[in-house]
Amino acid sequence: MTEGYIKFHCNWENEEIHFPEELFLSLEKERSILYKLGLIGMYPDGIGFGNISVRTNGGSFLITGSATGQFPTLNQSHYSMVSESSFGDNSITCKGLTKASAESLTHAAIYRAIPEVGAVVHVHCLWLWEKLLNHYPTTSGEIEYGTPEMALAVQSLAAEMGMSDENIIIMGGHREGILAFGKNLKEATTQIIEIYNRYQND
């Protein structure tokens, strides 16, 4: 990260959270589809990538925690509840046995921009990213991952887009980074799967 940026800060309450089993199972179902395609996973250097979230109420959302990308399946302790986010301070407030990553800010940005959005999916895929870059709504290549600028850029892009048939944002300055959103988890995941299948043999 470039010097001069405000460092990401996570106000983490390390405490067990409980959420409905039904919600957990639907998160796991969609996540496993993305995991099998390698859209969520881990790089050879051990760094995990990709996360999915679902809005619980208002500005709060449940998100897969940091460093969980390598696991084929998760349990409830791998999820984190984000209750607050501040782009200006580059900070979030979360609770759970796993803390939420800096990428939670990008999820927060979409929830803020479009009240109808119920779920956000963030995946990494180099070939798809290269194909979609600047063909789909794309944030500036100058704006880096994990910065307040990225959250603000995603927020304004999403607000401009609103809900449509294709709710996809390409993170120009976050190589491989793609975001999709929808009214619910299934819809958000389907956005990615459809575009993945369409461009795969292109």
- Residues near Zn ion (CB under 5 A) are 177
What is the nearest approach in angstroms of Zn ion to the Cβ of residue 50? Answer: 7
Q: Which is nearer to Zn ion, 96 or 177 (CB)?
A: 177
What is the nearest approach in angstroms of Zn ion to the Cβ of residue 94? Answer: 17
What is the nearest approach in angstroms of Zn ion to the Cβ of residue 122? Answer: 6
Rg (CA), the chain: 15
Task: Please say whether the beta carbons of 51 and 103 come within 8 A.
Answer: yes
What is the nearest approach in angstroms of Zn ion to the Cβ of residue 15? Answer: 26
What is the nearest approach in angstroms of Zn ion to the Cβ of residue 103? Answer: 5
User: Using CB atoms, what's the residue nearest to Zn ion?
Assistant: 177
Degrees to nearest 5, angle at CA 98 with 68 and 2: 75
Q: Which is nearer to Zn ion, 172 or 177 (CB)?
A: 177
Residue 79, token pair as written in the block:
């999820």
Q: Which is nearer to Zn ion, 148 or 177 (CB)?
A: 177
Q: Which is nearer to Zn ion, 137 or 177 (CB)?
A: 177
Q: Which is nearer to Zn ion, 13 or 142 (CB)?
A: 142
Task: Provide φ and ψ at 75, rounded to 5°.
Answer: -120, 180
**Complete edge-to-edge strand list for the sheet that includes strand 51-57:** 9-14, 91-96, 79-86, 60-64, 51-57, 119-124, 177-182, 168-170
Residue 57, token pair as written in the block:
């109420």
Residue 78, token pair as written in the block:
């791998």
Taking the chain, what is the end-to-end CA distance rounded to the nearest angstrom?
34
